[in-house]
Amino acid sequence: MARTIHNLSCRACVIILVAEVLTGCLLTAGCAKGHRQAEVATAKQAAGPKAGSSAIQITVLYDNYTLSEGFKTGWGFSCIITGTEKCILFDAGANADLLLENMDKLQLRAQDVDLVVISHDHGDHTGGLYSFLGRHSNALVYLPSTASAGLVQGVESRGAKVQMPDNALQICEGVHLTDSTFKGNVEQSLVLDTTEGLVVVTGCAHPGIVEIVKKAKQMLNKDVYLVFGGFHLLDLSASQVQSIIQQFRELGVQKVGASHCTGDRAIQLFKEAYREDFVPIGVGRISIPGKL
């Protein structure tokens, strides 16, 4: 009888031991799986968001207007676009010192710029270019097809590469240039293909702001979410500006950010017409909800 009890006790011990071993294996496997999941999560965090996965941000470096105190203004235009596959400098204002001072105050580094786009060969859009390249010449510069030999030589002599496209061109994922020559005027505009619709960025819109919007829609066959930059409406009457606003409505332009050479009166008319869909433009940061 004692031997039988002893045998049963041994069997019970064996069963308990086996159970503990199995439990330990399961816990170890679970911990290992947890560690692997944590490692994957950490790796994903380290990798950061994919290009174009964050909201697009426009930082205006140079303009006649400012969004907040502490920045200098001047006749001209320049902005940096981030949240796209490539960081883009669009135009370079008129005064190099003003451009770089505002850039420093906005805590933006020239070295982070991948592409430079110059809308047209006028001093209020090229004046700060050489000084910018003095800080960072390892960028590809897109000049309009009829840029002067002096401008091309000046850019190349500072170590930057130049491209002068004749036709509309995609310069990185979701970002396009319009033709630089149409309607007898030479100027290229930037078109961002976002989830909200097209965002059209203009320097001075010498070919006509309505024609540029039509060109953008024709290029990508999509609705226009926002048009901003210089519209060059300084010499137009109120009725002529109202006609342009009506054409914007007919083209389905959802939001407007008129600035630079648009003129104070024309800006006010756009503001009254678009109300909450008018986007104030000036030196400072502007977030766009759309993504590429």
User: Could you tell me the residue ranges of all domains in the chain?
Assistant: 1-48, 56-288
- The pTM of this model reads 0.81
| Residue 64 and residue 74 in contact, taking contact as beta carbons nearer than 8 Å | yes
Q: What is the mean pLDDT of the chain?
A: 85
Average pLDDT over residues 233-251: 97
To the nearest 10°, report the CA torsion of 222, 230, 103, 48.
-10
Count CB atoms within 10 A of the CB of residue 24.
Answer: 10
What six digits make up the tokens of 25? 């294996």
| Residue 22 and residue 16 in contact, taking contact as beta carbons nearer than 8 Å | no
Class of domain 56-288: alpha beta
* pLDDT-based confidence at residue 53 (cuts at 50, 70, 90): low
pLDDT of residue 288: 83
Closest listed residue to residue 140, CA positions, set 116, 167, 166, 113: 116
The answer to whether residue 192 scores a pLDDT higher than 90 is yes
Q: Distance between CA atoms of 85 and 194, rounded to whole angstroms?
A: 12
CA distances from 178 to 16, 143, 149, 165 (A): 77, 12, 22, 10
Question: What percent of the chain is modeled with pLDDT above 90?
Answer: 75
What six digits make up the tokens of 278? 């008018």
Average pLDDT over residues 276-289: 93
Average pLDDT over residues 124-151: 96
According to DSSP, residue 69 is labeled: T
Please, is 152 exposed, middle or buried when counting C-beta atoms within 10 Å of its C-beta (0-12, 13-18, 19+)?
middle
Pick the residue with more confidence: 22 or 76? Answer: 76
Which amino acid, residue 193?
Answer: D
Least confident of 5-19, 95-109, 179-193: 5-19
* Residue whose entry in the numeric block shows the structure tokens 């290009």: 51
pLDDT of residue 186: 84
Least confident of 1-5, 102-106, 153-157, 161-165: 1-5
pLDDT of residue 39: 34
* Residue whose entry in the numeric block shows the structure tokens 């850019």: 155
**Which residues are CB-contacts of 47 (< 8 A; sequence separation ≥ 6)?**
none
pLDDT of residue 180: 74
What six digits make up the tokens of 67? 């969004």
pLDDT tens per residue, range 5-35? 344 343 433 333 333 433 443 333 443 333 3
The answer to whether residue 291 scores a pLDDT higher than 70 is yes
Q: Distance between CA atoms of 120 and 98, rounded to whole angstroms?
A: 20
Average pLDDT over residues 61-81: 96
Q: Distance between CA atoms of 142 and 90, rounded to whole angstroms?
A: 10
Average pLDDT over residues 69-95: 97
pLDDT of residue 185: 74
Closest listed residue to residue 91, CA positions, set 173, 201, 179, 198: 201
Q: Distance between CA atoms of 152 and 119, rounded to whole angstroms?
A: 14
Q: Distance between CA atoms of 138 and 158, rounded to whole angstroms?
A: 9
Average pLDDT over residues 138-144: 96
CA distances from 17 to 6, 21, 145 (A): 16, 6, 82
CA distances from 291 to 51, 115, 192, 274 (A): 10, 19, 9, 23
Q: Distance between CA atoms of 94 and 63, rounded to whole angstroms?
A: 9
* pLDDT-based confidence at residue 238 (cuts at 50, 70, 90): very high
